[in-house]
Every structure is written in C-alpha cells, then in structure tokens.
Structure 1
Amino acid sequence: MSHGTITLVGPDIARQAEFLAMADEFGEDVPEGLVPSTSRWVVQDGRLVGFVALRHELNAFLFEEGGYIGYAVRPTARGRGIATAAAALALLEARHLAIERVLLTCDDANVASATVIERNGGVLEDVRGGKRRYWVEPAGQGPRSTRRALPAPGIHQQVCLLVVRG
C-alpha cells in the first residue's frame, strides 16, 4: 500500500484556506485529556515570527500549569511588542468565547513573559511549582480593562493569521 510522498512544511500563508478546511474536518471532537483551542500564526513582513494559542477551556493540568493562552516569538523577533500584541488579540478572542477570567502562566524566572502578561492586565495570584499564575478579565470587563495593552499599530488579525506590519 502506497501512501505517497509525505513531507513536513512550516506554516504558509498560501495554505491558509487548506489549513482551515482541514481544521473544519476535526470539528468539535477533541480527544480525552485535550481541550478545544484556536491557534494563530504571527507574521511580520511575510515571515513567521511566532504563534499564539487560545484554549477554550481548562482541564486540571492547564489550570495548574498552562492557562488559557500560550504564545511564542522567535528569538530574532523578540523585544518588539509582538508577544504583547498577540496576547492582547487572544484576550479579545477569549471575550468572544465568553471566558470571564483568563488564566495565563509563565515560568517564575521568565521576566519577559511576566511583563507581557502584566501589560495585558494580568494580576498575579500566586506562584506554584515555579509557575507564576495571573488572571486577566477580557477587554471590557472589570476595573483593569482600561490598562490593557492594545495591539500595536499595524497588527491585524485574520482568520488564522496575525500580520505584524513593521
């Protein structure tokens, strides 16, 4: 039985429609132990510079360790506000999903990530097992919403893509 040629490719803007069609095939059937989530790519000047993932709910592990939002920015693109803007857009999506309080976590020693979370209105609850645990009320809710970081000028959200224009 031949399965044809299989290759692994990185995220490609030209494959966005194909990716969305594949994602639709998965539907809402999420394997046990996992949670539904939305992933976004962050692109600047046509180059993939990071990603952000928004989990729609928390399981026991995510409540302790991972939180609702995860993000990463490639080392060569750090320090430009990309993670702060991506997290802000993910918080807007959380609001649309009616998530009332959003848990974000980072390693206790990760000062850059703690700054991203704090710039987005994160209030430190505690540190557990080396993880800082912050709660954010999505935009438009609660007293800290006016302090929340807004996406930097030139950052726009598209269906499965965040585009950062330099």
Structure 2
Amino acid sequence: MKLHLVKPDLAYYEQYNEMMTEWCESKTQIAPWFLDAPFASLEEYAQLVRMLDNCEHGIVDPRFAATTSYFVVDESGRLIGAVSLRHYLTVEGFRTWGHIGYGIRPEERGKGYGIQALRLALEQAREKKIDKVLIGVHEGNIPSRKTVEHCGGILENTVRVDTDEEPIRRYWINLSDHSKLNL
C-alpha cells in the first residue's frame, strides 16, 4: 500500500487519539518528538497543530531548529505514523538525533511502512536542499537500523547521551549521491 505525507490538522484529531492510545498501550517507544499521548479535547489537539505550524515557520526557541512535521497516511487516509524533518541542525541535533525522526504505529509495523515513511521524509529533505541527512536510532531498535541502512544510511558512530539510557547510532545519508541511495 502506498503512503503519503500530510500536515497535521484538526481533521486527524480522532485518528491521532486512536493511534496514540494504541502506542501508549503497547509500551513501545513513541517517535517522532511531537507524538505523545491522546488529547482530552479538540482544543488541546488544536494547540499541538498550531505549535507544529509555528515550528515549521521557525517560531521556536533558539535552541531548537525549525521543523516540519507530517502524518504518514495510507491510501484510505488512515494514520499510519509520523515523521519530522529538522531544516538544519543545532548543536544538540548534531550531537544526537539529527534531521529526521519517524515512527510507525505498533499494529502497522513489519509491513515496510518505515522504509516508505523514511523515503518520503528524504524526498522532503531534498526539496529543502539538504544534501546530507543525519538520523539517530537507538542501538536496540534493529528494525529502524535496518530501515535507515536500507535507505542508504552509513553509520558514523554511536553516542551516549545523559538523558537516554540506550546508546544512539548516528547515520548519514548523502542525498546528492543518488547512486548509493535505495530510494
């Protein structure tokens, strides 16, 4: 099934809550950064949508990068996951997670959707003239590591961060070298 990216908006309120309930009940890591938990009201969800729009337009704390966030949806419009794309790296972003974060809801994993979602995010990075993309993956998240490697990720190193118990593997994907990409 083919996936595509859409900007978060109010139309996805119920699906967002359904997806986040599933994710929270699975007790698996939630990613990317803007996903958290179901919202108690449409008004709270609307605040998230406004905040994501502000982030995309650079209305952020100077410690953070402008970031475009997307929902990943299937052909029927069902929410499958999410991706975020930092437009540039800050000191913290360069040290750990990098440009792209992505996640697929638990019941949809193992279907190749992570590869599709990452490819779509890489296309957005290319459109933003980002030539080299950094992606961080928890060392124990083998499916995500394989996804990044499948899409051309070259391991640079593994780092530890005080705020995270698990080491983070840092991969670079060179978008200007099309011959090495599996997109």
Give the TM-score normalised by structure 2. 0.64
Quote the offset at 1:11 in angstroms: 5.8
SS at match of 2:96: helix
2:32 maps to what in 1?
Answer: none
Unmatched 5+ stretches in structure 1 = 1-8, 13-18, 151-166
2:171 maps to what in 1?
Answer: 134
Amino acid at match of 2:109: R
Indicate conservation of the 8 Å contact 2:56/2:68, yes or no.
Answer: no
2:145 maps to what in 1?
Answer: 114
Indicate conservation of the 8 Å contact 1:39/1:53, yes or no.
Answer: yes
Which of structures 1 and 2 has the bigger CA Rg? Answer: 1
Select which of 5, 15, 30 maps to 2:60. Answer: 30
Does the C-alpha gap of structure 1 residues 25 and 83 become closer, same or farther in structure 2, counting only changes over 3 Å? closer
Indicate conservation of the 8 Å contact 1:103/1:134, yes or no.
Answer: yes
Higher relative contact order (CA 8 A, sep 6+): 1
Aligned residues: 132
Counterpart CA distance in 1 for 2:54 and 2:95 is 29
Quote the offset at 1:100 in angstroms: 1.7
Amino acid at match of 2:59: D
Amino acid at match of 2:154: V
The answer to which structure has the higher helix fraction is 2
Unmatched 5+ stretches in structure 2 = 1-12, 17-48, 161-166
Quote the offset at 1:69 in angstroms: 0.2
Quote the offset at 1:25 in angstroms: 10
Quote the offset at 1:24 in angstroms: 6.9
Quote the offset at 1:63 in angstroms: 1.0
The 5 A counterparts of 1:85-164 are 85-129=116-160, 130-138=167-175, 141-142=176-177, 145-150=178-183
What RMSD, in angstroms, separates the aligned Cα atoms of the two structures?
2.5
Superposed structure 1 runs of 4+ greater than 4 Å apart: none
Give the TM-score normalised by structure 1. 0.70
Counterpart CA distance in 2 for 1:69 and 1:28 is 16
Amino acid at match of 1:60: V
